[in-house]
Structure 1
């Protein structure tokens, strides 16, 4: 998943994401200070754009991801930082950690979500904070996923990414999405993957984080930090403190 051509084209398909603003949101949400002394962990770092933006403000961030092809892009972009698909390469405790852009939503069972939270817990220093985000079950139920298409230019020519939801197959807030890459001129399907994505409720995520041992848990609106998350909104953030 997220390998090959998709990894190489990933940043092009998400070119509308402003990572500098997202970094400001993370810094604000976690109350980070004294940047030059901080080291963070990005769990599900993808192509390393968050780490790159953190470097610009003097914060070092190491990155874990399961996709070696995504990590190849991250290493080329950030040659001085640590990126690995092996969790054993991240044995120290970090000042803060985060896992964003739907990593939690790709954990479709409670045990999967608990495993993610435990990995963050053991790799975060005492009194350090962890930040997650997720699809919001109430918002996604009101406005279910729709077919989307986006076309980008590449060395292969024009490539269209098509995301096809199967609402007939959705149950327990888990939504099957087929992601395809299609060569525009030949109409050849270069890639087709089935992704299962879960829309979690903030209360359930809070309960799971309490089970792991986190304290001081807060649900956040990462888009409008001064507002509470509404039921109609598609995403929410949640931060928690390791005692």
Structure 2
């Protein structure tokens, strides 16, 4: 219980650190809303004001709101920055592991993004763009799968952090991660518009379970049980891998700065 409170304190500090830049984030929200508006107009131009068109509107706006907590989180979970300035050495002296500390630090960041970025974009979608609200029995399944998607996204980003411990530079792996998210997660185009053969490949990768699956559950197009089974399988696999790699890579680190 004490360790949980310690972690929540880390999350609180991360939340407060992000809140300092609230005005900058409001400007970013305006840009994100404009991007979403243009994207929606393109989809409506293609599909028309039909049920399929409004379904695409809902998918795009719900997904765009969710991207701030499943995709647009700090690359490497702040670890690359700590490696560069040397503060990673102090992380090794703390009474908790690097994986534990990174999770709660990112949790605070995600809580901030949810309140000040995701919710405003979602409300804009509902009030202006005609986004459909989920039925009552779909709200909890959506939140469950969204949280699972956050865990998967965190663990993938954590691997980027571990990469920086070994190789210092993350530019290459960061670009690869962004490419994977953009192409395979359904972040900007619903996977149902992809060829069937490509869909089968994508659904065997973790990216789709961070963005596409939660939004599909929101729209009642994906089974909660099927979603959770696949998401939990990825979470367990990624967690075990992250735990083992952490214990190996933190035995010998190259530290810059200091």
Q: Same fold (TM over 0.5)?
A: no
Please report the TM-score for the alignment, with normalisation by the length of structure 1. Answer: 0.29
TM-score (norm 2): 0.28
Kindly indicate which of the two structures has a greater share of residues assigned to helix: 2
Structure possessing the higher relative contact order (Cα contacts under 8 Å, 6 or more residues apart): 2
